Amino acid sequence: MMSSGLTLALKVKELVERISGCPYVITRDDGRLNWLMKHPPLKKESAVGDPCYAFPDLNANGDSIEIENDSPDMEHILEYSYNIRMSYEEYDKLLVPNVRKILEKIIPAFVKDYEIVCNGMEEVAKKYGLSPSGLTVKNSNCYTKFGARFDVRGMSDDEILSATELRFRAVGEVGHKFYSWLGFGYEYSPERQALVDKGARVPGLPGRLRGGGFLVIDWSPNTGDPERDQKISAEAKRYLESKWAIVFTPEGRLKLVNGEIVLVKPKAKNKSA
């Protein structure tokens, strides 16, 4: 006989509290497979110092259960690390391995933030025998969300608990790696701070970036959405007009010439004969 929603939710709550050592609260309970649970404090940015922040939330929505964690505001992380800003429209590009490779010499610590999550999800898929199709890493504004979703139709309580445990451990493991690297509390881990201290490198600019910067990953913008491309171009132009920051891409500086944005690539160094 299937349990009531409250009974199943409580079983899951007991399970994840045992695994994580962290308290969880059921914030919605409207049936056997319609509930939501989180650990308090409920994802408040100020609670980043709590190691429990590394563990995911759980959401049962009828046909499936989603186990998901998310990052702090990565816009703030980038700005606090390097005094660099980016358009909201481009943060999802950090999920692409080739983009991270291009940026690793420019903003190394920030790239490593994404590497830990993206590579970590691949590693736990192999470790726990999970299908990559059931794992997700996605961007929402400036937050990176990572987790697992599985279909629960026709499953018994015991089967649901077993599937939940596997995925909760996997997502929690990635979360712990990520937040341990980022740093619990208000200081980065020593390893991350060492990369931050090396500074950001702007193509064609001697030494590291000293003032503010605005990074455009692709110029001209090519998100595939003309509206998003226009937003990126408009933001770049505002920064150029205000002269608040150096506006640059991985290929060089962006400058205003007769009101138009032009990419100026650094001159190639002469090689000795």
Q: What stretch(es) of the chain map to CATH 3.30.1460?
A: 5-72+111-181
For 260-272, write each residue's pLDDT tens digit.
Answer: 999 999 987 665 5
CA distance 63 to 154: 9
Nearest C-alpha neighbor of 87 from the set 256, 236, 243:
236
Nearest C-alpha neighbor of 216 from the set 74, 88, 55, 130:
88
Whole-number pLDDT of residue 60? 96
Q: Are strands 64-70 and 84-86 parallel, antiparallel or unpaired?
A: unpaired
CA distance 21 to 82: 35
In the predicted model, what is the mean pLDDT of residues 87-94? 96
In the predicted model, what is the mean pLDDT of residues 87-91? 96
Q: Does pLDDT of 81 surpass 80?
A: yes
In the predicted model, what is the mean pLDDT of residues 21-36? 91
Whole-number pLDDT of residue 270? 60
User: In what order do the strands lie in the sheet containing 213-215?
Assistant: 84-86, 213-215, 246-249, 252-257, 260-264
Whole-number pLDDT of residue 2? 42
Say if residues 128 and 166 touch (Cβ distance below 8 Å). Answer: yes
Q: What is the CATH number of domain 5-72+111-181?
A: 3.30.1460
In the predicted model, what is the mean pLDDT of residues 237-249? 95
Say if residues 71 and 144 touch (Cβ distance below 8 Å). Answer: yes
For 29-52, write each residue's pLDDT tens digit.
Answer: 888 889 999 987 645 444 456 788
Please give the mean pLDDT across all residues of the chain. Answer: 91
Q: Residue 4's pLDDT band (boundaries 50, 70, 90)?
A: very low
Q: Does pLDDT of 207 surpass 90?
A: no
Whole-number pLDDT of residue 187? 84
Say if residues 240 and 256 touch (Cβ distance below 8 Å). Answer: yes
Q: Does pLDDT of 91 surpass 90?
A: yes
